[in-house]
Structure 1
Amino acid sequence: MERDVMEYDVLIVGAGPAGLSAAIRLKQLAQAQGEDLGVCVLEKGAEVGSHIFSGAVLDPKALQELFPDWQALGAPLNTPVNKDTFVVLGEEKSWEVPEWSLPPLMRNHGNYIISLGEVCRWLAGQAEALGVEIYTGFSAQSPSYDAQGRMIGVITGDMGLDKQGNPSANYTPGIEIRANYTLVAEGTRGSLTKQLEARYGLRATASPAKYGIGFKEVWRVAPELHQKGLIEHTLGWPLDANTGGGGFIYHHGEHLVSVGYVVHLDYQNPYLSPFDVFQTFKTHPKLKGLLQGGKRLSYGARAISEGGVQSLPEMAFPGGALLGCSAGLVNLPKIKGTHYAMKSGMLAAEAVFEARQQGNPELLTSYPQKLRASWIWQELFAVRNVKPYLSRLGTWAGSALGGIEMWLSSWGVALPWTLKHASADHATLAEASQSQVPTYAKPDGVLTFDKLSSVSLCNLSHDHQQPCHLKLGVADMPVRVNLPRYAGPEQRYCPAGVYEYVEHAGEKVLQINAQNCIHCKTCDIKDPMQNINWVPPEGGSGPNYVSQ
């Protein structure tokens, strides 16, 4: 079958905060000039917001720029932060850090506790009202290029393939969507982004990308324990001083609490299980008293970018640009990226609009220039050395030096160095023979849970007959290398029980339960041999984070 072809002025891949903000800004600019601009947003989730997963506390400054009247328009920012605490945890005790001692950049007054999925659904409504066309359930599988190598759009995934990748009776070929410019806003460690980085050498001069894996559960707690508007961030237990990470507790909505934990993926011990670290975190007296008697409503996990400005790739390439988390625009100590994603989308839209007026040059050179001149760069540059300090010096010394540098930055003092990251996260694992096996308590089914019961709350939808979307470069690499050298770490770093080693004909084999995948991308990042390649499954597959 021949592919259908659709053409637009601008194609945006991903209906997250970056992609939707770009679409809205494009339409705003076009309407101000009386122009008709065709804008298409492609979203792989079954609906807008279904694959959106975040803490989330929103700094509204980008939203204020996009919609100065956002409150009158009914944007779902319903829980303003009214108390902001930072807590150091020991195994049994906790110590609150005085707010006055925290760098101003880390404070959250004026921000809102939100459901990012709800905000994206609201943004989608605003975009459609402006004439943006949004197509859900379509994954961008590969870029399209012209004869000169310029990106001219994407090809969506074929539908109705069987497990062997052959057309079934329900087969429908993917669509080619062409555009003058393609803005890639598919989130952290995107499959399209990886292809573009390799083709155009976008990471040639960048420090290695760095990541964490973030977990979150939403609980409904006893009314007398709920403190609406309270946010707490934690450092310390249950991780040791040489393993980066921390927790968060956000009170919002009707007696809802979002409890989460981030583990930095440059950890060394192959036996470490980030999922079990998160479950253990909830057993601390500070959490136990809050959650006991409550009800767990949802669960999810997602990789997040942590590299900072030194890890950013080239943001513009022939025919398009990278936005938001696709590029890595996340502030690690501030634990925020949504407002950067929105602002980057707005800046890219302005760059596209200017380029159209100049006759559509292939490279959006003004986009990275606009980024560097914006408050995005100002904030990210101020914290650029925090992650390298943590990786090199550990939690306590790294936090202390990072805090000092952030205070100096708030006083207008910029230190003259930018530290590079020593290695990519997949290269940091020690061998199993040199590592100790941590002890994790058995889940009690009340406060702590196993992976499969947790995944059941993700509202997963994967057709069991579709091809496996977790591709092994070398089929026997896991058994030949990962298992003997690193004790099969994919069994532990995956938060959804996708990977397990089983006996088959008297030998160990890696079984991939692709139907459990919640699209966190951790396997693509942390596999020590970089042998696992995450590609989008059939459009509409995956989690549906309806309450996140």
Structure 2
Amino acid sequence: MSQIEREAMEYDVVIVGAGPAGLSAAIKLKQLDADMNVVVLEKGSEVGAHILSGAVLDPAGLNALIPDWKEKGAPLNVPVKDDNFYMLGEAGQVRLPNFAMPPLMNNHGNYIVSMGNVCRWMAEQAEELGVEIFPGMACSELVYGDNGEVKGVVAGEFGLNADGTPGDAYEPGMELHGKYVFLSEGVRGSLSKEVIAKYELDKNSGPQKYGLGMKEIWEIDPEKHKEGSVTHTMGWPLNGNAGGGSFIYHLDNNQVYVGFVVHLNYENPHLFPYMEFQRFKHHPMVAELLKGGKRVAYGARAITEGGYQAMPELAFPGGALLGCSAGMVNVPRIKGNHNAMLSGIAAAEAAVEAIKADRAGDVLAGYAERVHSGPIAKDLKKVRNVKPLWSKYGLTASLTLGGFDMWTNNLFGVSLLGTMKHGESDAAATGEAKDHKPIEYPKPDGVLSFDRLTNVSFAMTNHEESQPAHLKLKDPSIPVAVNLPKYAGPSARYCPAGVYEFVEEAGADTRFVINFQNCVHCKTCDIKDPSQNINWTTPQGGDGPNYPNM
């Protein structure tokens, strides 16, 4: 805890992050006890500004939280009408039959949504119940109690100079204390990372695995638009270079979500995930769909892919990890929002029980019990072997063995493979440049494909340039001394926003430049850096992307 004097405010529950998990927890707390004092702190300029998801939403979580969501005007307006699965080659595609897919892959009853807009609506529901929501309030620090428990957070620190010293307009922020603190920061949150390390919450779990999801919103020719259509592809252009695939979701207003996911355990450091996404759009099937249309938004976000066996312990002294902070994504379904909501409900129920029993600051064991005996575990256990199979044996094995494993789980409730383990971390999976061939990527044409910096302008990201860089190097010498010669400087490629570059100038040493103003808060650098030398922290509140309908 820092030595700066700050005012403190007391709450029953402090929630970090206004995503589906945090907002669900806030709503459920007030549903269970209208007198509960609840605050939600959101680093984005508004609720939804930093929310990026596919997204086809399984309404299971919303049904449990607000059963009359339809009557209350929830923005779930586009039911899925058809599912399409394709294996792509460079010039063509093969459709995979729907009947061969395990039932859990069926999107019947789900909705194509903007999760940003769903969260904006959920925030309205929370505020009507009396929840305090403060956007533009980045939580930069945890506050610990006398017994080593988490007792609150520091939020709303503004006006630091680039060197970290207080500037003329410095505001120290406030301490917000709670009987319990819920961390619902999404993937690889900075505070979540701290508590996982401090309390060794991951000592009995496998390493968390991640993917990088990139997404564009396109307005297309109405003649080609099929509202409610859902398409997923695998294969080209990644082929054997990396795991991953695409999604194409037709929402309303002639708009289409075009997304691409690259698993971050790829070996070849020359791989350029963003350019793989841009190349994908030139596949004949995709190019024909987008021809005559225009891209209206862009963003990127890391995705947890470790599944059930990679979830850390969920509760710690004084708080709990919710949603993607704990890693609750169902990988083959590419869905985690429903589990995030269900985790918020479970955490709220456990907290209300504890507070009514005059407890505070202890470990909410009741939360973990609810998760591991409830619908979240049931959802994740069925698919727990798909990702390790893909990582170890490739796409074909994942489709055949993984599909077989999902079928046996679905039909008999058991896996003949048991629970497979993940291998090393995604950072450790990165190979040395000398062992891999460079990859040539076509130059973006400015029609279907775009250079990174042009696309980043469509994320509407903004950071106050006078503040300290929120991307911190543990050792400033490592990028040039180690990562450049050994791994060909992969940060210049794995970042989907062009934050990192190696600048060579005549007669001078190569410089490593961090353009933190470009950052879209995807956290890929924190995950994939082979030297684990980059630490993503929160910039001042309100900074970052401003996504409209992601």
Q: Which residue of 1 aligns with 2:424?
A: 423
1:429 and 1:367 mapped to 2: Cα distance? 36
Distance 2:202 2:5 in 1: 35
Amino acid at match of 2:432: E
1:112-131 to structure 2, matched below 5 A, reads 112-131=111-130
For 2:359, the equivalent position in structure 1 comes to: 360
Tell me the number of residue pairs that the alignment of Structure 1 and Structure 2 aligns.
544
SS at match of 1:183: strand
| Pairing of 1:215-294 with structure 2 (within 5 A) | 215-241=214-240, 243-294=242-293
Match for residue 534 of structure 1 among 518, 533, 536: 536
Whole-Å separation in 1 of the counterparts to 2:71 and 2:428: 50
Please tell me the residue identity of whatever aligns with 1:391.
S
- Is residue 24 of structure 1 aligned with residue 27 of structure 2? yes
Which residue of structure 2 lines up, in the alignment, with residue 510 of structure 1? 512
Which ranges of 4 or more aligned residues in structure 1 deviate by more than 2 Å? none
| Aligned position for 1:500 | 501
CA distance in 1 between counterparts of 2:115 and 2:156 reads 26
What is the alpha-carbon distance in structure 2 between the residues aligned to residue 429 and residue 342 of structure 1? 34
Percent pairwise identity: 54
> How far, CA to CA, are the matches of 2:415 and 2:165 in structure 1?
57
504-513 or 321-330: bigger deviation: 504-513
CA distance in 1, matches of 2:30, 2:86: 44
Match of residue 6 from structure 2: 3
Give the letter aligned to residue 479 of structure 1: V
Q: Which amino acid aligns with 1:533?
A: N
For the 8 Å contact 1:216–1:300, the answer to whether it is kept is: yes
What is the one-letter code of the residue matched to 2:521? H
Secondary structure of the residue aligned to 2:324 is helix
1:542, 1:523 → 2: CA distance? 16
Amino acid at match of 2:168: A
In structure 2, what is the Cα distance between the partners aligned to 1:474 and 1:253?
A: 48
Letter in 1 for 2:368: P
Amino acid at match of 2:327: G
**Structure 2 SS opposite 1:119:** helix
1:111-260 equivalent positions in 2, closer than 5 A: 111-241=110-240, 243-260=242-259
Q: Which residue of 1 aligns with 2:549?
A: 547
Mapped partners of 2:156, 2:235: distance in 1: 43
Find the aligned partners of 1:464 and 1:277 in 2 and give their Cα distance: 30
Tell me how far apart the structure 2 counterparts of residues 442 and 146 of structure 1 sit (CA, whole Å). Answer: 54
Distance 1:70 1:531 in 2: 44
Residue 498 of structure 1 aligns with an amino acid whose one-letter code is V
SS of 1:302's equivalent? strand
- Equivalent pair of 2:28/2:349 in contact (CA under 8 Å): yes
In the TM superposition, 1:28-39 aligns within 5 A as 28-31=31-34, 36-39=35-38
Residue 241 (structure 1) shift: 2.9
SS at match of 2:141: strand
Aligned residues: CA RMSD: 0.9
Shift of 1:242: 5.1
Structure 1 residue 158, shift from structure 2 partner: 2.1
What's the offset of the Cα at 1:240?
1.8
Map 1:351-390 → 2, pairs under 5 A = 351-360=350-359, 362-390=362-390
- Give 1:157 shift: 5.0
Separation of aligned partners in 2, 1:241 and 1:383: 22
Offset of residue 174 of structure 1: 1.9
Q: Residues 487 and 157 from structure 1, CA distance in 2 versus in 1: closer, same or farther, beyond 3 angstroms?
A: farther
- Following superposition, the deviation at residue 253 of structure 1 comes to 1.2
Tell me what 1:302 maps to.
Answer: 301
Contact 1:241 1:396 in 2 (8 A): no
* Aligned-partner Cα distance in 2 for 1:263–1:363: 36
How far apart, CA to CA, are the structure 2 residues paired with 1:503 and 1:252?
45
Change (3 A) 1:444 1:290: same
Q: How far apart, CA to CA, are the structure 2 residues paired with 1:64 and 1:470? A: 39
- Counterpart residue type for residue 512 of structure 2: L
Q: TM-score, normalized by length of structure 1?
A: 0.98
The whole-number CA distance in structure 2 between the counterparts of 1:150 and 1:2 is: 20
Residues 1:58 and 2:27 are matched in the alignment: no
Question: Any idea what the Cα deviations from partners look like across 1:75-99, whole Å, max 9, x if unmatched?
Answer: 0000000011111101011111111
> 1:334-391: per-residue Cα shift (whole Å, max 9, x none)?
1000000000000000000111122215110111100011111011001111110000
Is residue 242–residue 395 contact of structure 1 (8 Å, CA) maintained in 2?
A: no
**What's the counterpart of residue 437 of structure 2?**
436
Counterpart check, 1:339 vs 2:338? yes
- Write the letter of the residue equivalent to 1:407: W
Unaligned runs of 5+ in 2: none
The secondary structure found in structure 1 opposite 2:498 is coil
Separation of aligned partners in 1, 2:163 and 2:525: 22
The CA deviation string for residues 98-125 of structure 1, in whole angstroms up to 9 with x for no partner, is 1111000111010000000000000000
